[in-house]
Amino acid sequence: MSGHNKWSKIKHVKAKQDAIKGKVFTKAIKDITTAARAGGGDLETNAALRLAVERAKAVSMPASNIQRAIDKATGNLQGVHYDEITYEGYGPNGVAIMVECMTDNKNRTVASIRHAFTKNGGSMGESGCVAWMFDKKGIITVQRSDKDDEIMEIAMENGANDIKEFDDFILFESDPNDFNLLLKAIEKAEATILDSSVELVANNEVDVEDDIAEKVEKLIDILEEDEDVQNVYHNMS
């Protein structure tokens, strides 16, 4: 019996590790797909894609998975057509939520997204119902170092229109059209880039009670687990 219990524990641990690895891979694939969709599949000209691929390799993602994600985003996947679609809705307490998807079956995806909203205290809305609450921006997060002043000066000369300083990192914002220019300049300056993406940023965040925040976070987690979902944005502070 003890041997059986030991094997059960090993299987449980392995299942947990596989789940964690699966989430890491899912995040990496979505980062690659988003970057390739925005800037094309050429690593030489698309700095965001190059960094996303490097991060995927760092977590031991197979090269075939990486290439498939790029092909999916750029429309080069044989026999399959993917559509980009954004769903809008409200989470608990009226928190605004935007869900960016890439799908080969719109009916499946909309049903899945609507189910997630409905079962978790939210509701899907019509197109445009919350989009006005968000602005699209290029966001680059850089680890602080003794070169901060130099990096910030370079950033301002290459498209950064806002800089926010925190204890451990600096966040640069840009117009989406200037994102790759800014990213290449920061990369060339040999800064440690922690994250980089073009994303939707809420122009007016709302405060909610802790119990509401937990419900919203649960809804977001469920949405992000959907294989058709690329990104989820909200205006909860």
Domain extents for the chain? 2-74, 82-237
- The answer to whether residues 137 and 121 touch, using CB atoms and an 8 Å cutoff, is no
The CATH code of domain 2-74 reads: 1.10.10.200
SS3 194: strand
pLDDT of residue 192: 93
For 90, 95, 136, 193, 234, the CA distances from 132, given in Å and listed in that order, are 13, 13, 11, 30, 12
Mean pLDDT across the stretch 136-146?
Answer: 94
Q: pTM of this prediction?
A: 0.78
Confidence of residue 129 (pLDDT cuts 50, 70, 90): very high
CATH architecture of the region 82-237: 2-Layer Sandwich (3.30)
> To the nearest whole percent, how much of the chain has pLDDT over 90?
65
CA dist., res. 102 & res. 31, Å (int): 13
pLDDT of residue 80: 77
pLDDT of residue 24: 80
Here the tokens at position 72 are 């999916």
Q: Is the pLDDT of residue 7 over 70?
A: no
For tokens 């019996």, name the residue.
Answer: 1
> To the nearest whole percent, how much of the chain has pLDDT over 70?
91
Mean pLDDT across the stretch 151-159?
Answer: 96
What are the residues whose beta carbons fall under 8 Å from the beta carbon of 118, sequence distance 6 or more? 124
Here the tokens at position 218 are 């649960």
